[in-house]
């Protein structure tokens, strides 16, 4: 009788239903793990030979054959087979076809359970390194732009209402701080990814004399896992990564929202490069900020993947269950979405054009220096609550007369408080307002320039 998979068909009396074979196969998506599967297999074969489980000739034949299989895959000579279920059996079948029965010895001392857990960790470790390189590239772009715009004044907002003047450079460095934490989260996550499950076998370990520490060394893992049951059954490292990815996308989405607003005719603070925008099929004047809009939209799919993985794991008994086949597509799509979004931003940010006059004009509206007037009165000896009331009355008068505080005459201002003198106009200017915030973390231009130097040093010292 013909079986759909010779790796396990001996126990079965009938062939797997064709639909079930296709439904349960993972080769359609886990084939992207072929390099990591082969890398893990080479290390496993090397360790088995060192432990005397394989002969030297068998090890050499297996490694040579695996490298040939990889070359065949990359040249398109291998057709992935649903009948072989997954990347592991496809690779092993191709190996056995090349070197004969010796290829069947490769699976000694391991299971597909610890094999896939290893492959995913190898793949994710590589993905984290790539994503952090993209975060670094984006941060460098933000820091460079922030340095250029250290003195460019714009309105700072709370509740999307004009609050106080800030500099555009200071605003960009706020984005950089978000990304700095994102980078650090991925670095920390990588520590828990970089632990080797290979050797746990199906769930209980193996009776063969293996050296898991040696396999970990060969594959660049920090150490082997400590419990075989946990090794094959949990995917918390993938969930942790997706959580970190969701936070990255949340930050990129917030940036996107501001870019979309700023590029609108109503704000007109920035100009996005044409190559990152599209037009309208019926409105020839349109220049749509599609890249930031799409990044904002893609954030939802990563949130969904996080919830999917959490739900996947929540009711599984120890140890491995077929449910875990469903971990890869959410994880892979999270990686792809992050990589694309970060690349788009890292490519786009260096070419943002700040419309400085428009930013400054907007900052001059909405009584953005009202807090400066209150601080001025406090320094003259008025309690802050009283100063707050005085400024509130001044603002009300300004609204009534259609004038900003800086446009009111000294006599008009003095009608609200006799403590106000001619020097008040020094603090009511936009430049005076931002310059007054001259402390660590403040928006003063010299503080922004200093912050750029510190931020660049932090990025430059990364390993």
Measuring CA to CA, which residue among 71, 110, 114 is closest to residue 94? 71
Distance of CA 242 to the CA centre of its chain: 9
Buried b / exposed e over 223-251, threshold 16 CB at 10 Å, is ebbeebeebbbbbebbbbbbbbbbbbbeb
CB count in 10 Å sphere of residue 400: 8
Does the active-site annotation cover 36?
no
Long-range CB pairs of 130-134, under 8 A, 24+ apart, other chains included: 130/339, 131/186, 131/248, 131/335, 131/338, 131/339, 131/342, 132/183, 132/186, 132/187, 134/339, 134/342, 134/343, 134/346
Reduce the DSSP state of residue 162 to 3 states and report it: strand
Q: Where are the beta strands (DSSP E) in 137-278?
A: 153-158, 161-167, 195-196, 223-224, 270-271
Does the active-site annotation cover 88?
no
| Burial (Cβ within 10 Å: 0-12, 13-18, ≥19) of residue 82 | middle
Identified catalytic residue from 159, 281, 315, 409 = 159
- Cα–Cα distance measured from residue 194 to residue 47, given in angstroms and rounded to the nearest whole number: 19
- Cα–Cα distance measured from residue 399 to residue 293, given in angstroms and rounded to the nearest whole number: 35
Identified catalytic residue from 75, 256, 264, 280 = 280
Q: Which residues are catalytic?
A: 159, 280
């Amino acid at each position: 009788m013909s079986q759909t998979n010779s790796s396990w068909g001996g126990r079965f009396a009938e062939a797997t239903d064709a639909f079930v074979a296709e439904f349960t196969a993972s080769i359609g998506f886990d084939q992207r793990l072929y390099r990591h599967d082969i890398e893990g297999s080479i290390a496993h074969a090397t360790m088995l030979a060192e432990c005397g489980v394989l002969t030297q000739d068998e090890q050499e034949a297996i490694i040579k054959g695996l490298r040939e299989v990889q070359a065949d895959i990359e040249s398109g000579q291998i057709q992935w087979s649903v009948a072989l279920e997954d990347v592991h059996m496809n690779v092993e079948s191709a190996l056995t076809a090349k070197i004969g029965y010796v290829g069947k010895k490769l699976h000694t001392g391991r299971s597909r359970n610890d094999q896939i857990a290893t492959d995913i960790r190898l793949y994710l470790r590589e993905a984290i390194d790539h994503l952090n390189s993209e975060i670094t590239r984006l941060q460098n772009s933000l820091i460079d732009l922030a340095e250029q715009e250290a003195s460019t004044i714009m309105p700072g907002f709370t509740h999307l209402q004009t609050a106080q003047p800030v500099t555009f450079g200071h605003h960009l460095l706020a984005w950089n701080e978000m990304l700095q934490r994102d980078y650090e989260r991925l670095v920390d996550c990588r520590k828990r990814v970089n632990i080797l499950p290979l050797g746990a076998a199906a769930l209980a370990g193996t009776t063969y004399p293996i050296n898991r520490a040696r396999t970990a060394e060969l594959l660049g893992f920090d150490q082997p896992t400590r419990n075989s049951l946990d090794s094959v059954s949990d995917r918390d490292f993938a969930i942790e990564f997706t959580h970190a990815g969701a936070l990255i996308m949340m930050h990129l989405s917030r940036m996107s929202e501001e870019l979309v607003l700023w590029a609108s005719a109503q704000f007109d603070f920035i100009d996005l490069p044409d190559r990152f925008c599209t037009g309208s099929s019926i409105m020839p004047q349109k220049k749509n900020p599609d890249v930031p809009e799409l990044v904002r939209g893609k954030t939802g799919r990563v949130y969904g993947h996080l919830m999917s993985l959490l739900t996947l794991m929540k009711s599984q008994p120890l140890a491995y269950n077929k449910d875990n086949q469903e971990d890869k597509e959410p994880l892979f799509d999270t990686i792809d979405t992050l990589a694309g979004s970060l690349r788009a931003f890292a490519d786009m940010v260096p070419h943002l054009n700040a419309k400085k006059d428009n930013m400054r004009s907007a900052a001059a509206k909405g009584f953005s220096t009202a807090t400066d007037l209150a601080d001025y009165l406090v320094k003259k000896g008025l309690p802050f609550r009283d100063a707050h009331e005085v400024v509130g009355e001044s603002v009300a008068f300004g609204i009534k007369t259609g004038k900003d505080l800086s446009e009111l005459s000294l006599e008009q201002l003095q009608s609200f408080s006799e403590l106000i003198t001619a020097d008040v106009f020094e603090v009511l200017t936009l430049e005076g307002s931002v310059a007054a915030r001259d402390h660590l973390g403040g928006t003063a231009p010299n503080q922004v320039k200093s912050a750029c130097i510190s931020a660049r040093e932090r990025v430059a010292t990364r390993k």
